[in-house]
C-alpha cells in the first residue's frame, strides 16, 4: 500500500464522518464544520488516488485548489446565514417542521 493510497483511504473515512456529521448533528456550527471535514475528505481522495504510483500530478492539485475556494465560499455563506438565524431566533438549531 503506497502512501497515496493511505491518504485516499483516510480521505474516504473523513468523508464518511463528515456526511454523518452534516446529517446527524443538530448544532449549525458543528454541521458546517462537518461539511468542511467532508470536503477535505474528498480532496484527500482526489490527491491521494492520483499519487498512488508515486508521481505527483498537478491537475488534481489544481482541482483541489479550486475546490477549496468553493468550500471557503460555501462556508462563508453558511456562517453568514447561521449568524443571521441566531440574530433572528436566538438559536443555532434548525427547528424540525415535523413533516416528512
Partner 1 sequence: MLLLTQFVALPLFLYARAYFAAGSAYFWPLAGFLLAGLNALFLSADLFNLYVTLELLGLAAVGLVAAGGGAQQVAAALRYLFATLVGSGIYLLGVALIHGAYGTVSIEMLTPLVHVDAPRAVWFAAGLMLIGLMLKTALFPFHYWLPPAHGGAPAPVSALLSALVVKASFYLILRLWLGPFAALTTAAAWLPAIMGSAAILWGSWRAIRALRLKELVAYSTVAQLGYLFLIFPLLGADQLALQAGGMQVVAHGLAKAAMFAAAGVVIQVTGRDAVADVAGIASRLPVTLFAFGLAGITLMGLPPSGGFLAKWLLIDAALVRGRWELVTVILAGGLLAAVYVFRVLRQAFLPPPSGERRRVARRPVAMLEWTAFALAAASVLVGLRGMEIVRLLGAGA
Decide: is 35 part of the binding site for partner 1 (CB under 8 A): yes
* 96: helix, strand or coil: coil
Check: CB of residue 87 under 8 Å from CB of residue 93.
no
Question: Is 14 an interacting residue with respect to partner 1 (CB under 8 A)?
Answer: no
Shortest distance, position 84 Cβ to partner 1, whole Å = 5
Residue for grid cell 498537478: 58
CB 11, CB 44: distance < 8 Å:
yes
Cβ proximity of 15 and 41 under 8 Å: yes
Residues that bind partner 1 (CB under 8 A): 8, 11-12, 15, 18-19, 22-23, 28, 31, 35, 38-39, 41-43, 45-46, 48-50, 52, 57, 60, 63, 66-67, 70, 73-74, 77-78, 81-82, 84-85, 88-89, 94-95, 97, 100
Amino acid at each position: 500500500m503506497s502512501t497515496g493510497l493511505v491518504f485516499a483511504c483516510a480521505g474516504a473515512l473523513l468523508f464518511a464522518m463528515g456526511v454523518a456529521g452534516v446529517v446527524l448533528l443538530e448544532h449549525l456550527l458543528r454541521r458546517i464544520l462537518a461539511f468542511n471535514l467532508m470536503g477535505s475528505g474528498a480532496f484527500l481522495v482526489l490527491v491521494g488516488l492520483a499519487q498512488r504510483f508515486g508521481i505527483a500530478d498537478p491537475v488534481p492539485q489544481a482541482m483541489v485548489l479550486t475546490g477549496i475556494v468553493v468550500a471557503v465560499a460555501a462556508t462563508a455563506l453558511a456562517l453568514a446565514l447561521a449568524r443571521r438565524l441566531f440574530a433572528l431566533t436566538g438559536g443555532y438549531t434548525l427547528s424540525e417542521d415535523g413533516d416528512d
